[in-house]
Amino acid sequence: MGIVKVTDNIYWVGVVDWNVKSFHGYTYTTKRGTTYNAYLIVDEKIALVDTVYGPFTNEMIEKIEEVIGSVSRIDYVISNHVETDHSGGMPGLMARIPKVPVYCTQKGKEGLYKNYYGNWDYKIVKSGDELKLGKNTCVFLEAPMIHWPDSMFTYVKEQQVLLPNDAFGQHIATSERFDDEVDMHFVMEEATKYYANILWPLNSLISKKLDEVTKMNIGIKIIGPSHGIIWRKDPGKIVKFYSDCSNSRVTVDNKVVIAYETMWNSTELIAKSIAEGLISEGMSVKLYNIPVSDMTEVIAECFTAKGILFGSSTHDNEMLPNIAMFIHMLKGLRPKGKYAGCFGSMGWAGGAVKDMQETLAKSGLEFVIEPVSCKFVPDKEETKKCIEFGKSFAKILKSK
Ligand code: FEO
């Protein structure tokens, strides 16, 4: 798709990647694809804000040249974030304009150099620094750990356009570019997935950064993130959503996720009995057999759940490998403030439940119930015990 005008003189010169189905080395599924949004600000001076993923460099350059004739007219390159989905276009672009200064944070310079080994003319910026383009001024705001140490936002102050790179993004490929052109249900679903899978462990930093931006009392008419839809109709919607997420206001009080892996079906029987107990106490349950589930989606469900239960059959005295991978991913997101429990089944010897609990011990989850498990296939008494486990977990959640 071609260039898109974001304002009279700010152009979207990014690309739509319809076919990318996983991100971050297969740790994040992107079944709706994504976009890499780059922005060209055309004034007396011309600035390019971010680039695109490397394989799409030529497509970006063609778009830039459609607007200004030649990339040689670019006066400044601004790199908000080093990660390769946004800086991958830099080597190809900078080979054409090697003397053009590159504006970035100190960490941005270190990261760009260590990725591409380009001896470019780096200009290090700090929060509050300005770059005058003519009628427009870019103001920089460092945003360390949102989501990398090098991250920063660029704010075009006269037009009140915020270009915050990954923040407020969504992995979604669309032919439309703006929030007023698309079904917001899908956008918010992807924004939730994005926050949960990438930003969840950074809640307190995001909350502080939002407070800092609020205190600056700047107007924001448009937010152009580096992935997905540009917010021009209602930028406040995504800012409020981030505020709610970072302050744990998106937790649904009666929501429980049950994530499990089963070998010969007994753990699944237990999971379903627990679900029965939870539902009988008015809980809303999401049940996932992890090996056949999309883990990115399950993590997004965990993000808004109050309780999470983990189940596994025992194999070699340990949990099964797929639930182990899920637990490993969730642990990295440091899911503080969620209540948890474990269950499982075994043949002659156990170990899965202990393994899961030990692995999650430093995750930030609060284990509030003794595990339930059974040997081989649950009998009627054991099934009843599992239903009761579900009811007890529901009562504990209600008391919290
Ligand atoms: Fe942190 Fe979209 O890259």
Q: 150 CB under 6 A from ligand 1?
A: no
In the annotation, is 36 catalytic? no
In the annotation, is 24 catalytic? yes
What domains can you pick out in the chain, each with its CATH number?
4-246 (3.60.15.10), 252-399 (3.40.50.360)
Is 80 exceeded by the pLDDT of residue 44? yes
Is 80 exceeded by the pLDDT of residue 77? yes
Rounded to whole angstroms, the maximal C-alpha distance in the chain is: 79
Backbone φ, ψ for residue 33 (5° rounding): 75, -165
Q: 105 CB under 6 A from ligand 1?
A: no
The residue assigned the tokens 């011309």 is 46
- 268 CA to centre of ligand 1 in angstroms: 37
Tell the residue nearest (CA) to atom 3 of ligand 1.
Answer: 83
**Catalytic pick among 17, 36, 150, 227:** 227
Per-residue pLDDT at 217: 87
Is 80 exceeded by the pLDDT of residue 26? no
The neighbour count for residue 308, using CB atoms within 10 Å, is: 24
Q: 32 CB under 6 A from ligand 1?
A: no
H-helix or E-strand spanning residue 390: helix 380-399
Contact in structure between 330 and 299 (CB atoms under 8 Å): yes
In the annotation, is 147 catalytic? yes
**pLDDT tens profile 150-185:** 999 999 999 999 999 999 999 999 999 999 999 999
In the annotation, is 227 catalytic? yes
**pLDDT tens profile 311-348:** 999 999 999 999 999 999 999 999 999 999 999 999 99
Per-residue pLDDT at 24: 82
Question: How far apart are alpha carbons 398 and 282 in whole angstroms?
Answer: 10
Question: How far apart are alpha carbons 145 and 149 in whole angstroms?
Answer: 5
Question: CA 77, 42, 47 angle in degrees (round to 5)?
Answer: 10
- 87 CA to centre of ligand 1 in angstroms: 9
Atom of ligand 1 at shortest range from CA of 148: 1
Per-residue pLDDT at 113: 98
Is the preceding omega at residue 171 within 30 degrees of 0, hence cis? no
Looking only at the bridges linking them, the beta strands covering 339-346 and 366-367 are parallel
Per-residue pLDDT at 306: 98
Tell the residue nearest (CA) to atom 1 of ligand 1.
Answer: 83
Q: Which of 35-49, 209-223, 302-316 comes out lowest in average pLDDT?
A: 209-223
pLDDT tier for residue 216 given thresholds of 50, 70 and 90: confident
In the annotation, is 185 catalytic? no
The neighbour count for residue 46, using CB atoms within 10 Å, is: 20
Tell the residue nearest (CA) to atom 2 of ligand 1.
Answer: 166
Question: How far apart are alpha carbons 114 and 94 in whole angstroms?
Answer: 15
Backbone φ, ψ for residue 70 (5° rounding): -150, 140
- Among 262, 259, 263, smallest CA distance to 286 is for 259
In the annotation, is 121 catalytic? no
pLDDT tier for residue 83 given thresholds of 50, 70 and 90: very high
Token pair in block for residue 145 = 């750990």
Atom of ligand 1 at shortest range from CA of 169: 2
Atom of ligand 1 at shortest range from CA of 81: 1
Per-residue pLDDT at 250: 96
Q: 17 CB under 6 A from ligand 1?
A: no
Is the preceding omega at residue 147 within 30 degrees of 0, hence cis? yes
Q: Which whole number is the average pLDDT over 188-197? A: 97
The residue assigned the tokens 């607007």 is 67
Question: How far apart are alpha carbons 293 and 302 in whole angstroms?
Answer: 13
Is 90 exceeded by the pLDDT of residue 1? no
- 85 CA to centre of ligand 1 in angstroms: 6
Looking only at the bridges linking them, the beta strands covering 137-142 and 152-156 are antiparallel
Contact in structure between 156 and 47 (CB atoms under 8 Å): no
- 319 CA to centre of ligand 1 in angstroms: 32
Question: How far apart are alpha carbons 163 and 157 in whole angstroms?
Answer: 11
**Catalytic pick among 43, 85, 179, 261:** 85
Sheet of 137-142, strands arranged across: 130-132, 137-142, 152-156, 161-165, 222-225
CA distances from 30 to 2, 114, 173, 294, 391 (A): 23, 27, 9, 10, 36
Atom of ligand 1 at shortest range from CA of 198: 1
For 259-316, the three-class secondary structure string (H helix, E strand, C coil) is: EEECCCCHHHHHHHHHHHHHHHCCCEEEEEEHHHCCHHHHHHHHHHEEEEEEEEECEC
- 137 CA to centre of ligand 1 in angstroms: 25
Share of the chain above pLDDT 90, in %: 97
Contact in structure between 313 and 344 (CB atoms under 8 Å): yes
* Mean per-residue pLDDT of the chain: 97
